[in-house]
């Protein structure tokens, strides 16, 4: 009997930790994309490994000549400064956003820098740096759309796109409670706005700076509703308890905030055409 109780308790604990990891990325199963590839784990090499999802301009995107290989953007610039401050080479792992927290918790990557909103749910599984950017959700709609002027309008039989596991997914699904059959989920911000362009979707709910960049690049427009969408703070995620790396990250971030470098990067990359 005692043994059975113990087995049950262990099963329950395992189930809980799996659901917590999933919740980290918004409740789906994308957590194992970076796992078991036989590569050195994050802690073992000289390289500092940043995990991201490079489909989120102006924070991370792929271009011909980026800061690190083909990768460019505000977050890549921040990561490069962190790596330089530690005398380590920066390596970038481009993966699905939804698996980033799990990759941090399991040590497959040293840090996730991905325009990631520091939510209490994610903070159960990773430690967050100080915030470095404030964003909110916006709606990207067709250039001549006139019937979406507020978040409430999305509930009105509108086809809404989100990126899987993003805070926008959570808001559309849980807070606005758009009916499930009207929600389309994609893995990449740059892909889902194409469905607004080709008329399959009425709106995409996505972070403000990215929504503006994607709208500008695709001849679409942005509708804002600050009353409906709360502000969100972007922060860098590290493995729980890795205070050494977190302190280093915070020092670099604070320096970049105080010197105005983050603001400059935001202006530079918002103006840049990809
Ligand atoms: N800020 C949003 C989130 O944390 C989107 C981040 C991203 O797509 N890269 O969910």
Residue 90 has pLDDT above 80, yes or no: yes
pLDDT grade for 4, boundaries at 50, 70 and 90: very low
Domain boundaries, the chain: 42-134+233-272, 137-223
**Nearest residue to 122 (alpha-carbon basis) of 27, 188, 245:** 27
Indicate the fold that domain 137-223 takes in CATH.
D-Maltodextrin-Binding Protein; domain 2 (3.40.190)
When comparing pLDDT for 223 and 20, which is higher?
A: 223
pLDDT per position as a tens digit, 27-66: 433 334 444 444 444 444 589 999 999 999 999 999 999 9
d(CA 127, CA 238): 5
Q: Is 211 in the pocket of ligand 1 (CB under 6 A)?
A: no
Q: Is 73 in the pocket of ligand 1 (CB under 6 A)?
A: no
Structure-block tokens of residue 164: 């899987």
Distance 148 CA to ligand 1 centre (A): 23
State the pLDDT at residue 270: 86
State the pLDDT at residue 45: 52
Task: Look up the pTM and report it.
Answer: 0.82
In CATH, the number for domain 42-134+233-272 is 3.40.190.10
Nearest-atom index, ligand 1, CA of 167: 10
Q: Which residue CA neighbors atom 7 of ligand 1 most closely?
A: 115
Residue 263 CB coordination number (10 Å): 12
pLDDT grade for 128, boundaries at 50, 70 and 90: very high
Same topology, domains 42-134+233-272 and 137-223? Answer is yes
pLDDT per position as a tens digit, 97-117: 989 999 999 999 999 999 999
Residue 3 has pLDDT above 90, yes or no: no
pLDDT per position as a tens digit, 247-260: 999 999 999 999 99
In our burial notation (b when 16+ CB lie closer than 10 A, e otherwise), range 105-128 reads bbebbbbbbbbbbbbeebeebbbb
pLDDT per position as a tens digit, 166-203: 999 999 999 999 999 999 999 888 899 999 999 999 99
């Amino acid at each position: 009997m005692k043994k059975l109780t113990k087995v049950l308790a262990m099963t329950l604990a395992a189930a809980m930790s799996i659901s917590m990891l999933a919740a980290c990325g918004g409740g789906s199963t994308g957590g194992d994309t970076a796992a078991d590839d036989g590569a050195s784990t994050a802690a073992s090499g000289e390289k500092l490994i940043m995990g991201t999802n490079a489909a989120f301009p102006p924070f991370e995107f792929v271009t011909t000549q980026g800061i690190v290989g083909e990768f460019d953007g505000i977050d890549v610039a921040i990561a490069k400064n962190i790596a330089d401050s530690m005398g380590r080479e920066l390596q970038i792992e481009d993966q699905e956003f939804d698996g980033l927290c799990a990759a941090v918790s399991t040590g497959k990557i040293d840090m996730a820098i991905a325009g990631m909103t520091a939510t209490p749910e994610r903070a159960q599984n990773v430690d967050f740096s100080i915030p470095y950017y404030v964003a909110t959700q916006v709606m990207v709609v067709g250039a001549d759309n006139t019937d979406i002027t507020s978040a409430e309008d999305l509930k009105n039989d509108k086809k809404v796109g989100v990126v899987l596991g993003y805070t926008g997914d959570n808001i559309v699904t849980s807070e606005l409670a758009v009916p499930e059959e009207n929600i389309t989920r994609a893995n990449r911000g740059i892909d889902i706005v194409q469905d607004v362009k080709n008329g399959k979707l009425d709106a995409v709910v996505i972070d403000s700076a990215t929504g503006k960049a994607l709208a500008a690049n695709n001849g679409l427009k942005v509708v804002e509703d600050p009353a409906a969408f709360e502000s969100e703070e972007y922060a860098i995620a590290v493995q729980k308890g890795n205070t050494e790396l977190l302190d280093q990250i915070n020092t670099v971030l604070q320096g970049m905030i105080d010197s105005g470098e983050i603001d400059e990067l935001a202006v530079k990359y918002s103006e840049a055409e990809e």
